[in-house]
């Protein structure tokens, strides 16, 4: 029987997954265009958008279009995978692996591999929409901006600018994030925040207060050098899949033991050598339990501690209480496992320490993160390649948005909200400080050290508490009035807890403005007849700019396609709104605006001029574009370019990239690494907390960076310090003029930084890291039981905090909640987490058919014992009722992944509310393919004692058959 033999001509079959240089012209041109039509049959709902609206998304039928390859960066997580988009006639027709990209080498997860869907996205929000009498009505941009602006001004008039909440996004580009923060400042409020609050705010606070900066200290690639890897509350197989590429490299080539500490046997745990199953909320217990073994066996790096750590003695005192029996009693992990895991880290240094939401989302989140830091400090794993605190951030630009200050407690660059900070930024913005001050409510609602503090200098309401800003009695809020209007700008609501109250708050608001590529659950949760505006924002694929990955590297995104439908990039929307509000001249003073689109490069240049604190100054548009053009020249293991146009740079100029761009600082790949000269990316611990405390030297002792002219610790650099050191004359005349009376953060010439670095010194000083933070509620991290805990026997010994009358402008409860025993009625510990197919609030990824097909049902993971006790079988519909009586109807997944007494829900679903399907409330043609209950509807009150982070990793619930 003759078989047809299909001959494949001229193909080099020896190429297997090796970097493939895509040389245009060498590849045969595709003479057809993709049929970008979508699903046929199945669960897909046909779009009802008119053909006119679809014209931008329809595949152009012309054949023979030239294929353009556009480089951009994935928008789904902080790994920052490189993407090569193939575009023909303005239509996104294909994706090729970016083999050259140093972070991912062409690899993706399900989300990155399907991101081309952003190029046709039929479920997008297509035009400005307004809710009129319960129905969605299309309006024009001008109408929308006008009405929104009018309402805002009316509110400002009656209640003051603090009554508008500016909820921004971790998915802004750097330029958009910066502009957003600046906009809120122009408007006159500190009520501006974003996802970082509910993600890594406790990390930033805890870690920055430990050694100076609150960011990932090394990088994903640097894990190649790790000899041991510990992950706590982190599940990268679902949340950062490409990070596993790097983790496996260390595991396989360095024989690095992988230790996973998690209440669930996650997919990450399945690849681990050690798995410690802890009770949710017992991070401090387990870490101190491990430290107990470290100190018992003398495994700590005594020299490192002596030179570079303050307060380890205080930590040791606390750790002594955590003997194996107590650790097991509190966390549930037996001694042999704790010992084995500790020994693995101690024997195999440098080891890296990774954590994510499992550790951060607690009322004691700041304790957890500082405990993690103390662990690494004790083992001397900081400031070395292969070690570090490798904090995996979440969204693609949560790092950038955090750095650029889309936070209610600071201006861009973590300068804070003091008068000095405002003055610095006024200078950068080239605006009159008094004018800015005048934009704010002149009242004062808080006191500090007996003096009234103007509202301009007080922390605003954080996103985790915005509902209380609306619902709380205004007499109890430290601002003039309640929140009356709110922007949901690139931020979904279902990632925050207390969904039922959120619904109420949304109904009480007078205006909701949702600026997003998708309607999000905010559009459907409230039962409203009017007062909701939906403004279609473009995705990052439809604009360009820079983004900061978790490892602090900047990456340049090029525009893949023009904005779809009537969407506009954030910066353009901001321009339109600013113009309406009469703030455009100030907001864009030194930023060119082409038509209505602000020039992205100018925004970055302004950032470069002002963000001296974290070295956002060296990453100019030109340098970043050069890096984008030369991905392949950066080394996979070190991220350093050897040769090529970016020779000597570290990929993305990971901040701090000190000094102005002309100084050409290569970036700092691993923070606090004294084995390198600061000029080559080395660094010391920041001298942020003073020079001495109670007679103890807070500066480093005998530890200093390579090539440092000061062979010991030193304080942060200022004009005075330079003069004392006799280095003042190293400054040029122009620099002297700018630097006089300033310090390394406020000298706009960058001269102080330049000179310090010239002498091999870190501009921010050389100090010890603090294992004990005396300004925090718990200076030495201690364990406290979650507000909703099933271990009532531990509440007496490990109680939560006292209630606070005013914390971030709001009354915040702790003890009064923990006082009630909910464990009888709600016996199961509820925790939450991620799925690889979805991201964040989920409306965007659930609108991607290729992803949505893979996760069609919202579910709760329940242990067989608990399922049997409740008469529940796998696949049954069940009610998960939270301890605050909100309940969600989901499918039961009976699995041993969770321990008995623990249940898990993914938080990405939305569109159902306590059993009700809200599909009909979505604007026509803009609902995601898959809807489900939001896990956070059932999650409860509970906020971190420093940052107001929500406690969404340990609450209580009961599960019954529906």
Partner 1 sequence: MATMKFYCDAERCIECNACVTACKNEHDIPWGVNRRRVVTIKDGEQGERSLSVACMHCSDAPCAAVCPVDCFYTTGDGIVLHDKDICIGCGYCFYACPFGAPQFPESSAFSSRGKMDKCTFCAGGPEDDHSSEEYKKYGRNRLSEGKLPLCAEMCSTKALLAGDADVLSDIYRKRIINRGASAFDWGVNFNNTKIQG
Partner 2 sequence: MRIHTLIMMVCLVLSVFQVQAADPSVDPPPPPESLLSINPGSELWREVRQRDGVVEGISQVKSPGANVLVNVSGQSWREYRMQELVPIAGAAILIVLVIIAIFRLLRGRIMLENGRSGVKILRFTTSQRAAHWTTAILFVTLGLTGLILLLGRKFLIPLFGAEGFSNIAVAAKFLHDYLGPVFMLALTWLFVLFVRDNIPSPKLDLQWLLKGGGLFGKHASAGRYNAGEKLWFWLATIVGLAVIISGMVLDFPIFGQARATMEFYHWVHSVSAIILIVVSFGHIYMGTAALEATFEVMKTGYCDANWAKEHHDLWYEKVKDSNESAPQSQAQANTDTGQRESADSAY
Name the residues that contact partner 2, by CB under 8 A: 1, 837, 853-856
Q: Which residues pair with 634 in a beta bridge?
A: 641
- Give long-range contacts, CB 8 A cutoff, 24+ apart: 428-433: 428/606, 428/609, 428/610, 428/748, 429/182, 429/586, 429/589, 429/590, 429/606, 429/610, 430/589, 430/590, 431/586, 431/589
User: Do 130 and 136 touch, CB atoms closer than 8 A?
Assistant: yes
CB of 290 to partner 1, least distance (A): 14
CA distances for 736 relative to 81, 732, 739, 824, angstroms: 42, 6, 5, 68
Q: At its nearest, how many Å lie between partner 2 and the CB of residue 851?
A: 10
Task: Give 19's contacts (C-beta < 8 A, 6+ positions apart).
Answer: 99, 100, 105, 106, 632
Closer of 252 and 920 to partner 1 (Cβ): 252
Q: Please report how close the Cβ of residue 354 comes to partner 2 at its closest, in angstroms.
A: 24
Q: Which two tokens stand for residue 811?
A: 């009354």
Q: Which of residues 39 and 782 has its CB atom nearest to partner 1 in the complex?
A: 39
**Closest C-alpha among 251, 282, 288 to residue 268:** 251
| Contacting residues for 99 by C-beta, under 8 A, at least 6 apart | 18, 19, 20, 21, 105, 106
Taking phi first (over 0 means left), then psi (-120 to 50 degrees means alpha), and beta for anything else, what does residue 105 get?
A: left
Query: What residue 272 binds from partner 2, partner 1, none (CB within 5 to 8 A, per partner kind)?
Result: partner 1
- The full 3-state SS of 223-244, as one line of letters, equals HHHCCEEEEECCCHHHHCCCHH
In the complex, minimum distance from the CB of residue 89 to partner 2, in angstroms, rounded to a whole number? 33
Question: Minimal distance in Å, beta carbon 958 to partner 1?
Answer: 22
Please calculate the CA angle 499-503-504 and round it to the nearest 5 degrees.
120
Beta-strand relationship, 859-862 and 902-906: antiparallel
41 binds, among partner 1, partner 2, none (CB under 5 to 8 A by kind): partner 1
Rank residues 185 and 239 by Cβ distance to partner 1 and give the closer one.
239
Cβ proximity to partner 2: between 4 and 475 the closer is 4
Residue 889: CB atoms within 10 Å: 18
Looking at beta carbons only, is 501 or 861 nearer to partner 1? 861
Radius of gyration (Cα) for the chain, nearest Å? Answer: 27
CB of 25 to partner 1, least distance (A): 12
Backbone angles phi, psi at 367, to 5 degrees: -70, -45
Q: Which does 111 bind (CB under 5 to 8 A by kind): partner 2, partner 1, none?
A: partner 1
Which CB, 222 or 238, lies closer to partner 2? 238
Smallest gap, in angstroms, from Cβ of residue 859 to partner 2? Answer: 12
Decide whether 311 or 351 has the Cβ nearer to partner 1. Answer: 351
Shortest Å distance, C-beta 112 to partner 1:
7
Helix (H, G, I), strand (E, B) or coil at 558: coil
How far is Cα 601 from Cα 530, in angstroms, rounded to an integer?
Answer: 38
Q: In this structure, are residues 211 and 436 in contact, taking their beta carbons and an 8 Å threshold?
A: no
* DSSP codes of every residue in 399-416: HHHHHTT-STT--GGG--
Residue 429, burial from CB neighbour count under 10 angstroms (0-12, 13-18, 19+): buried
Cα–Cα distance measured from residue 472 to residue 489, given in angstroms and rounded to the nearest whole number: 23
Distance CA(188)–CA(871), nearest Å, equals 56
Q: The tokens 């602006």 sit on which residue? A: 149
| Least CB distance to partner 2 at residue 856 (A) | 7
Q: Which is nearer to partner 1, 64 or 915 (CB)?
A: 64
Binding partner of residue 540 among partner 1, partner 2, none, CB under 5 to 8 Å per kind? none
- The nearest distance, CB 272 to partner 2, in angstroms, is 13
How far is residue 930's CA from residue 852's CA, in Å, rounded to a whole number? 6
In 819-936, where does DSSP find H-type helix? 843-846, 849-852, 864-870
Q: How far is the CB of 888 from partner 2 (least distance, A)?
A: 21
H helices within 611-744, ranges in order?
A: 621-629, 719-725, 733-739
Min separation Cβ 584 and partner 2, Å = 48
What does 94 interact with, of partner 1, partner 2, none (CB < 5 to 8 A by kind)?
partner 1
Q: In angstroms, what is the minimal distance from the CB of 41 to partner 2? A: 13
Measured N-to-C along each axis, helices 335-347 and 283-296 cross at an angle, to the nearest 10 degrees, of 60
Length of the chain measured in residues:
962
In the complex, least distance from residue 226 CB atom to partner 1, rounded to whole angstroms: 15
Which is closer to partner 2, CB of 566 or CB of 837? Answer: 837
Closer Cβ to partner 1, 194 or 846, answer by number: 846
Q: Which residue, 314 or 853, has its beta carbon nearer to partner 2?
A: 853
- Is the CB of residue 462 less than 8 Å from the CB of residue 190? no
Q: Which residue's CB is nearer to partner 1, number 334 or number 645?
A: 334
Which residues, 6 or more positions from 44, have their beta carbon under 8 angstroms from its beta carbon?
38, 849, 929
Our CB check for partner 2 shows the closer of 199 and 851 to be 851
Closer to partner 2 at the Cβ: 856 or 917? 856
Strand partners, 230: 259, 353
User: Which is nearer to partner 1, 53 or 344 (by Cβ)?
Assistant: 344
Nearest approach in angstroms of CB 854 to partner 2 is: 4
Rounded distance, CA 884 to CA 788, Å? 10
Calculate the CA dihedral of residues 890, 892, 898, 899 and round it to 10 degrees: 110
Nearer to partner 1, 15 or 824 (CB): 15
| Contact yes or no for 752/722 (Cβ under 8 A) | yes
Helix axes 365-378, 283-296, angle to 10 degrees: 20
Among partner 2, partner 1, none, the one that 34 touches (CB under a kind-dependent 5 to 8 A) is partner 1
Residue 677 CB, nearest approach to partner 2 (Å): 46
Nearer to partner 2 by Cβ, of 134 and 875: the residue is 875
Nearest-approach distance from CB 842 to partner 2, in angstroms: 15
> Which one of partner 1, partner 2, none interacts with residue 856, CB within 5 to 8 A by kind?
partner 2
């Amino acid at each position: 029987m003759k078989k047809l033999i299909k001959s494949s001509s001229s193909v080099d079959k020896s190429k297997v997954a090796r970097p493939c240089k895509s040389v245009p012209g060498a590849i045969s041109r595709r003479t057809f265009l993709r049929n970008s039509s979508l699903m046929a049959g199945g669960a897909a709902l046909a779009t009802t958008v008119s053909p006119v609206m679809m014209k931008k998304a329809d595949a152009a039928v012309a054949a023979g279009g030239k294929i353009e390859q556009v480089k951009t960066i994935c928008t789904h997580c902080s790994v920052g995978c490189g993407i090569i988009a193939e575009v023909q006639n303005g239509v996104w027709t294909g994706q090729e692996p970016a083999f050259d990209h140093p972070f991912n080498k062409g690899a993706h997860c399900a989300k990155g591999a399907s991101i081309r869907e952003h190029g046709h996205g039929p479920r997008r929000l297509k035009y400005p929409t307004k809710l009129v009498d319960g129905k969605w009505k299309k309006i024009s941009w001008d109408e929308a901006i006008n009405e929104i602006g009018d309402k805002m001004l009316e509110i400002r008039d009656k209640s003051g600018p603090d009554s508008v909440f500016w909820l921004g996004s971790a998915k802004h580009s750097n330029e958009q994030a910066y502009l957003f923060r600046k906009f809120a400042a122009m408007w006159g409020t500190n009520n501006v925040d974003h996802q970082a609050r509910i993600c890594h705010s406790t990390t930033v606070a805890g870690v920055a207060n430990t050694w100076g900066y609150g960011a990932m200290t090394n990088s994903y690639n640097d894990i190649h050098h790790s000899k041991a890897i510990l992950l706590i509350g982190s599940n990268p197989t679902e949340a950062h899949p490409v990070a596993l590429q790097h983790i496996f490299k260390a595991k396989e080539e360095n024989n690095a033991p992988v230790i996973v500490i998690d209440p669930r046997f996650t997919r990450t745990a399945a690849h681990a050598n050690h798995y410690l199953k802890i009770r949710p909320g017992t991070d401090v217990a387990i870490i101190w339990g491990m430290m107990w073994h470290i100190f018992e066996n003398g495994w700590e790096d005594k020299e490192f501690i002596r030179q570079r750590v303050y307060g380890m003695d205080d930590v040791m005192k606390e750790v002594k209480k955590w003997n194996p029996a107590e650790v097991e009693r509190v966390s549930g992990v037996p001694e042999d496992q704790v010992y084995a895991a500790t020994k693995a880290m101690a024997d195999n240094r440098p080891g890296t320490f990774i954590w994510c939401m499992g550790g951060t989302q607690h009322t004691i989140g700041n304790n957890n993160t500082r405990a993690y830091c103390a662990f690494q400090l004790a083992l001397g794993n900081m400031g070395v390649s292969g070690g570090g605190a490798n904090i995996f951030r979440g969204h693609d630009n949560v790092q950038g948005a955090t750095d650029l200050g889309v936070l209610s407690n600071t201006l861009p660059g973590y300068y804070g909200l003091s008068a000095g900070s405002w003055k610095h930024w006024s200078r950068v913005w080239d605006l009159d400080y008094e004018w800015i001050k005048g934009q704010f409510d002149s009242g004062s609602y808080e006191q500090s050290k007996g003096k009234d503090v103007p509202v301009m200098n007080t922390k605003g309401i954080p996103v985790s508490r915005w509902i209380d800003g609306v619902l709380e009695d205004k007499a109890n809020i430290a601002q003039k009035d309640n929140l009356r209007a709110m922007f949901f700008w690139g931020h979904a609501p279902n990632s925050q807890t207390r969904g039922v109250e959120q619904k109420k708050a949304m109904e009480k608001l007078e205006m909701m403005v949702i600026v997003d590529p998708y309607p999000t659950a905010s559009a459907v949760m409230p039962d409203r007849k009017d007062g909701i505006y939906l403004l279609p924002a473009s995705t990052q694929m439809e604009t360009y700019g820079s983004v900061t990955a978790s490892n602090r590297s900047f990456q340049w995104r090029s525009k893949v396609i023009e904005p779809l439908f009537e969407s506009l990039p954030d910066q353009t929307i901001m321009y339109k709104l600013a113009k309406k509000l009469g703030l455009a001249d100030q907001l864009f003073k030194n930023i060119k605006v082409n038509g209505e689109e602000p020039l992205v490069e100018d925004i970055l240049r302004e950032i470069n001029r002002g963000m001296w604190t974290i070295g956002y100054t060296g990453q100019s548009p030109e340098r970043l574009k050069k890096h984008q053009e030369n991905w392949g020249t950066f080394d996979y293991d070190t991220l350093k370019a050897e040769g090529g146009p970016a020779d000597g740079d570290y990929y993305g100029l990971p901040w701090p990239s000190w000094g102005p761009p002309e100084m050409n600082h290569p970036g700092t790949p691993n923070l606090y690494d004294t084995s390198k000269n600061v000029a080559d990316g080395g660094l010391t611990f920041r001298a942020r907390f003073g020079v001495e405390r109670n007679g103890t030297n807070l500066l480093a002792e005998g530890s200093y960076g390579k090539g440092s002219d000061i062979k010991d610790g030193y304080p942060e650099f200022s004009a005075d310090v330079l003069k004392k050191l006799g280095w003042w004359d190293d400054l040029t005349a122009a620099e002297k003029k700018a630097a006089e009376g300033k310090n390394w953060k406020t000298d706009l010439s960058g001269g102080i930084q330049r000179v310090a670095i010239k002498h091999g010194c870190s501009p921010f000083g050389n100090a010890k890291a603090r294992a004990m933070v005396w300004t925090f509620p718990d200076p030495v991290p201690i364990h406290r039981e979650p507000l909703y805990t099933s271990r009532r026997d531990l509440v007496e010994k490990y109680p939560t905090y006292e209630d606070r009358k005013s914390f971030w402008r709001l009354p915040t409860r702790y003890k009064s909640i923990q006082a009630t025993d909910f464990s009888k009625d709600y016996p199961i510990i509820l925790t939450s987490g991620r799925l690889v197919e979805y991201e964040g609030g989920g409306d965007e990824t659930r609108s991607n058919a290729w992803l949505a097909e893979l996760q069609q049902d919202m579910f709760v993971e329940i242990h067989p014992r608990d399922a049997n006790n409740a008469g529940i079988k796998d696949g049954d519909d069940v009610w998960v009722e939270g301890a605050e009586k909100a309940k969600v109807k989901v499918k039961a997944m009976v699995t041993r992944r969770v321990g008995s007494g623990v249940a898990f829900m993914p938080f990405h679903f939305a569109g159902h509310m306590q059993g009700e399907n809200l599909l009909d409330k979505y604007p026509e043609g803009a609902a995601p393919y898959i809807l489900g209950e939001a896990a956070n509807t059932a999650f409860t009150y509970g906020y971190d004692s420093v940052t107001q982070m929500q406690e969404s990793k340990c609450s209580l619930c009961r599960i019954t058959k529906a």
